Amino acid sequence: MSSAEMVADLHAPPALRVRYQGVFLRQFLSETSIIFRRRRNIAILAVLGAVPVLIGVAVKVSAPRGGGGPAFIGQITSNGLFLAFAALTLCLPVFLPVAVAVVAGDAVAGEANTGTLRYLLTVPVSRTRLLAVKTAGVIAFIVAGIALVTVIGIVLGVSLFGTHGMTLLSGDTVSVSNGLLRSLGVAGYVFIDLLGLAGIALFFSTLTEVPVGAMAATVVLAIIFTVLDAVPQLGGLRGILLTHHWLDFSTLLRSQVNTSQLWHGMLVPLGYFAIFTAAAWSRITTADITS
């Protein structure tokens, strides 16, 4: 879609804009249907859903009391809501990034690999709209994955360990409703964390016709970010690394929430998402698509 077409869309009659929105919605529903029906993606969701189950069962069987280990794990026995936090914490470094890399890396490259990308664009579907639909489908999968881990963690945690108010990492106790609100905040923060990686994967997906290549490049880059973040000599430069602020949601589990830390932690992945989706748009709208 050229800039002239985009301006024309903005000034189109309301009935025509509604028609455009209806077409986008149908394309979005078709895209999400394809994403969620793929066995590979179903398996990924199954693995994500199994993480809080495994943690909950392991903690219930071992029943630690006042021992060592991460604070998230130790808090589970006294309040089941912490099972969701523990599951998200363990999923964020590995399982969730792999899930994003697989789905987003396959978004455009998968179509090119099967030879359907060129035919999609002759429907006719503008390249801008195609990328928008693909991006929306990836975002829907990320939301589903995070929601699955969070909901299973909360339901199973409360079932196994109960909840009688929520003791925060700072030692203060808040109500169950306050704890649930903080759970939603943590899930939302993790979602924004993963948006940056999704933008990178989408960009890589527009560069190749081999989906595995885009997936691997995304995972490798995430690993590089993690390794660089562990190098103290980089100093303040670590603050712009995508993975540096991934676990900053821990401030939501303290009585005094550091809002500046949260805002800065969210701006970094949002910046990555904006930059790399713009690069993906530039690539897909100018590339010579032959497959």
Task: Note the pTM of the prediction, 2 decimals.
Answer: 0.86
Task: Compute the mean pLDDT over every residue in the chain, rounded to the nearest whole number.
Answer: 84
Instruction: Give the position of tokens 């490049």.
Output: 217
What b/e readout covers 220-239, taking b as 16+ CB neighbours within 10 angstroms? Answer: ebbeebbeebeeeeeeeebe
Percent of the chain residues topping a pLDDT of 70:
84
Task: Express each pLDDT in 73-109 by its tens digit.
Answer: 667 777 788 888 889 999 998 999 999 999 999 998 8
Q: Where are the domains of the chain?
A: 17-286
Task: Express each pLDDT in 137-184 by its tens digit.
Answer: 999 999 999 999 999 999 998 888 877 667 777 777 778 888 888 889
Residues 6+ apart with CB under 8 A from 105: 201, 204, 205, 211, 212, 213, 214, 215, 217, 218
Poorest-pLDDT segment among 25-39, 120-134, 203-217: 120-134
Predicted local distance difference test score (pLDDT) of residue 16: 45
